[in-house]
Amino acid sequence: MRLSHRKIHAQDCAECETKEGKLDQITREIELEGALTPEQRQRMLEIADRCPVHRTLTSEIRILTSLAGQAPSRLS
């Protein structure tokens, strides 16, 4: 698997909710080896989209930050 990352203008992304500023775009290329049917290849892509890292990166992210001994504060 290969990943690449770049920033894109939000206005250039028709399917994105955000329309201002810049967005992070990650391009993922998955290489499958072996004699797989088209159905098996499609199933592998579906499984890749359900992995914990993919789900975290495509979900709403909330970050709580605190100094040791203090209550966390909300950043985003």
């290849």: which residue's tokens?
41
Task: Report whether 6 contacts 23 (CB < 8 A).
Answer: no
Whether residue 65 is contained in a domain is answered as: no
Whether residue 34 is contained in a domain is answered as: yes
pLDDT digits (tens, 9 = 90+) for 17-76: 888 999 999 999 999 999 999 999 999 999 999 999 999 988 888 888 889 887 776 665
Output the pTM of the full model.
0.66
Whether residue 76 is contained in a domain is answered as: no
pLDDT digits (tens, 9 = 90+) for 53-70: 999 988 888 888 889 887
Whether residue 71 is contained in a domain is answered as: no
CA angle at residue 12 from 47 to 42, to 5 degrees?
Answer: 20
Domain boundaries, position 24: 2-59
